[in-house]
Amino acid sequence: MIAGVPHVAGTGAVPVHCILGRNAGPMTGPGTNTYVIGDRRLAVLDPGPVDDQHLEAVLRFANGKPIDWIFVTHTHGDHSPGAAPLQRATGARLVGLLPPEGSGQDPTFTPARQFLDGERIDCGEFTMRLVHTPGHVSNHLCFLLEEDGLLFTGDHILEGTTPVILPPYGSMRHYLQSLEALKSLPLQALAPAHGRVMKQPFQMIDTLLRHRLRREQKVLRVLAEQAGALPLEALVRQVYDDVPARLLPLACKTLLAHLLKLQEDGRARCEWQAWSGVGQHER
């Protein structure tokens, strides 16, 4: 994939194209995928960061066709800030969930109204269903292109890597529930915000669920094996001994999400910013 060059991403009857943003990096992999959906009247999903060249590439691809809708999966800087300039250029209606108060996420994001989980938006040529998927962050939405069973997964499911869970607005418990709930949808393929389209949606979801569960088991094992309580920064080196050191700051966030879930479950405790297992030394 080359940034700015549209390529076909559709898997069914509805035309879907992907324009890769120019924001490749450690947090975004190859960059943010901006999807353009429709034939004569278009919707744009995840416009990405503010970037005149990327906006230009999207408008050039639209080639004068009206852009009626802008869908935003969540309000991180690599997904939503480009929505405001695209909306000014097109008059499109903006769909997404407001960032949690105090989170410091994209303050320019102003959806057309309040939207609800399960809402179906009739876009004329196709129907988009909103699926609230808290976990990565609390205001995360996936969008189901109903005609083709294509789910736009934002940062909920990524290709080639696993999403970071970001407490306090992200939650491991919600993440696992949101993943599990996707299995009841009529899915044919997954279109992530970073990486390529995945054609085996249910297999992918199960792989992710297993991965998270295995990591949780490893957290419990490390907590059980240590003599005293450990701060997060020490714990992460043991629980994530399989990832490169440069990824540890991110792993720390997901580890905290695991620990907070285990604390709620009564299996871990935190005192003076050090974590220990609960009920494991008795064994």
Residue pair 17/26 in contact (Cβ under 8 Å)? The answer is no
The distance of closest approach from Cβ of residue 159 to Zn ion in the complex, given in angstroms and rounded to an integer, is: 15
Handedness of CA 73, 74, 75, 79 (dihedral sign): negative
Burial class (CB in 10 A: 0-12, 13-18, 19+), 181: middle
The distance of closest approach from Cβ of residue 137 to Zn ion in the complex, given in angstroms and rounded to an integer, is: 6
The distance of closest approach from Cβ of residue 279 to Zn ion in the complex, given in angstroms and rounded to an integer, is: 35
The distance of closest approach from Cβ of residue 13 to Zn ion in the complex, given in angstroms and rounded to an integer, is: 30
Q: Binder to Zn ion among 32, 57, 76, 169 (CB under 5 A)? A: 76
Q: Which is nearer to Zn ion, 38 or 99 (CB)?
A: 99
Q: Label residue 49 left, alpha or beta by phi (over 0 means left) and psi (-120 to 50 means alpha).
A: beta
* Kind of pairing between the strands at 33-37 and 16-20: antiparallel
Query: Rounded to an integer, what distance in angstroms lies between the CA atom of residue 192 and that of residue 157?
Result: 6
Q: Which is nearer to Zn ion, 212 or 267 (CB)?
A: 212
Q: Which is nearer to Zn ion, 76 or 132 (CB)?
A: 76
Q: Specify the amino acid at residue 239.
A: V
Q: Binder to Zn ion among 46, 68, 106, 155 (CB under 5 A)? A: 155
Q: Which is nearer to Zn ion, 51 or 155 (CB)?
A: 155
From 71-79, 102-110, 198-206, 233-241, span contacting Zn ion (CB under 5 A): 71-79
Residue with tokens 């999903």: 45
The distance of closest approach from Cβ of residue 22 to Zn ion in the complex, given in angstroms and rounded to an integer, is: 18
**What length does the chain have?**
283
From 99-107, 151-159, 167-175, 206-214, span contacting Zn ion (CB under 5 A): 151-159
Using the rule CB under 5 A, is 46 a contact of Zn ion?
no
Residue pair 268/276 in contact (Cβ under 8 Å)? The answer is yes
Residue count at the site for Zn ion (CB under 5 A)?
2
The distance of closest approach from Cβ of residue 150 to Zn ion in the complex, given in angstroms and rounded to an integer, is: 20
* Phi, psi of 89, rounded to the nearest 5 degrees: -80, -25
For binding to Zn ion (CB under 5 A), which residues are involved? 76, 155
